Amino acid sequence: MLDQVVRRAGAQYGDEAAYQTADDWTVSYAQLDRLSDEVAAGLAEQGVNAGDVVALVMPSVVDYIVAYLGAAKRGCITAGCNPRLGPDERNRILDAARPRLVIATADLAEGIPPAMPVVSVEPASSPDALLVELRIRGAAVEPLHDDPDRPVVICFTSGSTGQPKGALFTNRQLQAISDLDTGGAWGGGGHRIAPTEFAHVGIMTKLPWMLAVGGTTHLLDRWRAEPILELIDRYRIPAVSGVAPQIALMLQVPHLERFDFECVQAIVAGGSASPPALVEQARQVFGAPYSIRYSSTESGGIGLGTSLDADDEEALHTIGRPRPDVRAEVRDADGSPVEPGEIGELWLASPAIMSGYWNDPSATEEALVDGWLRTGDLAWVDERGLFRLAGRRKEMFIRGGYNVYPAEVEAVLGTHPGVAEVALIPRPDPVMGEIGVAVVVTRRGHGPPDLADLRAHAGEQLARYKLPEALRLVEALPRNGTDKVDRRALAAEEQDHS
């Protein structure tokens, strides 16, 4: 499906710029089609065949898109790896993906096990320099036969222990996501900004319709609020999109009055809920309605949403209703629907939901039940049929749109010589949504560690977004009747301290 889309887009949009980089060079739709053909031929020369996994370990640059498209034309399964992860985290993803080949930038290739085949590349500074280490110039490949069930992409998330799990999507699901997001439309794309890393489900599963609608996607070396606002103003971009913390950072840019936001027609915040104060401020600053979009990696980025014409009760305090062709129910621990107003686990069903977790049948069986996805989030439905989140079934929290799992972080912090015991708990934050607070018992014979020291220690193994941003020293961690750390008590104590 993706291979067919890029061919048609190359023919239909030709020299129109598909991507514009921070250095102001562009790559056209016709070039994407030609270059991805050359990459597909290069993969064949590397011994990579249809059905093999190709892992991409690189930043969100045009090279990533060309590699993904080339792999799709070869019939491969592409697994993206978030470049913000540390070496150990990346290797856990690669171990789970079991790739036939890894395509990585030189800096991120360091630390990949020697037994794993790697093509090291340098980010290009022009279209002709894209993936020169892999392409076969002038090569063309035959179109693949139609197969709705051909696997195309693995999007990695993490389980409750922080172990990576790969959500697998086929042609059938990518087509469904395109239909649900755009109605299968072609044309009318205009200008837009990529708000997430390319390894995120918001790019990997939605690239087909982004190519189909045409227009230009603007790239930055890294996400920063002020350049985003400048792009919105300069190119009259009609939609402000991102996760809630990104929108909060935009609103903190000084002298917002220097930007002209009359072009903005909608604010779309993906991932989960947005704080009511953020919704109100964003609507005022941008002069546009605000839509919250609730979804997950496993749901293919498709789920529920608040309407653009929602009243304040819906817009500020709910995640709205299921989007077209999406079913949502709140169920109890036995999987039976609960009555309106009762809290239970949110289950989703749609044609966009993943096929399962890659090479993980037990996790797949737990997550997918009779065509329904168990989200792990707790919710309830009000008298108007609006869904409201009530927490999470597990201990994971979300910082800036990224999942943080306390057990994973605690395991690293616990190796600090000054730490006897540690628990990581979330604290509400107006910008990031939630941040981590390290509650630490000092090891006897050592001075108490400070926050900077803990972050430096853990930063060698963990991505920055997982590091604690506050520290509380205690004599002992509270325990429950089974001698486990009482996280509810810690959360209550955190409320008293915040």
- Residue 128 is predicted with a pLDDT of 94
The pLDDT value recorded for residue 497 is 66
Assess if residue 349 is contained within a domain.
yes
Q: What is the pLDDT of residues 443-483, one digit of tens each?
A: 878 889 999 999 999 998 899 999 999 999 999 888 754 44
What residue numbers bound the domain in which 451 lies? 397-497
Domain membership flag for residue 387: no
Q: How many residues appear in the chain? A: 498
Say if residue 411 is in the same domain as residue 372: no
- CATH number of the domain that 401 lies in? 3.30.300.30
Q: What is residue 498's predicted lDDT score, i.e. its pLDDT?
A: 61
Answer yes or no: are the C-beta atoms of 416 and 430 closer than 8 Å.
no
The enclosing H or E element of 340 equals none
The pLDDT of residue 160 is 41
Domain count, the chain: 2
Residue 205, token pair as written in the block: 């599963």
Clarify whether residues 407 and 482 are in a common domain: yes
Looking at the fold, whether 355 and 461 belong to one and the same domain comes out as no
User: Does 190 share its domain with 235?
Assistant: yes
Which of 347, 378, 409 is a domain's end point?
378
Rounded CA gap, 248 and 4, in Å?
38
Same domain, 343 and 374: yes
**pLDDT tens for residues 300-316?**
999 999 999 999 999 98
Return the pLDDT at 39: 98
Going by DSSP bridges, is the β-strand pair 216-218/191-193 parallel, antiparallel, or unpaired? Answer: parallel
Distance separating alpha carbons of residues 276 and 312, to the nearest angstrom: 9
Same-domain check for residues 289 and 338: yes
Clarify whether residues 135 and 189 are in a common domain.
yes
Distance CA 85, CA 466 (A): 9
pLDDT of residue 482: 45
Tell me what pLDDT residue 392 has.
67
Residues 365 and 436 in one domain: no
CA 335/CA 349 separation, integer angstroms:
14
pLDDT at res. 326: 97
CA-to-CA distance for 455 and 462, rounded, in angstroms?
9
Do the domain assignments include residue 241? yes
What are the strands, taking DSSP E only, across 226-322?
A: 239-243, 266-270, 290-294, 304-305, 321-322
The answer to whether residues 233 and 261 belong to one domain is: yes
Both 371 and 483 in a single domain?
no
Query: Among 289, 241, 274, 240, which Cα is nearest to 431's?
Result: 274
Positions in the chain whose pLDDT score sits under 50: 159-161, 481-483
If asked whether residues 246 and 331 sit together in one domain, one would say: yes
| pLDDT (0 to 100) of residue 159 | 46
CATH for 210: 3.40.50.12780
Task: Kindly report the pTM of this predicted structure.
Answer: 0.84
Task: Tell me if 87 is assigned to some domain.
Answer: yes
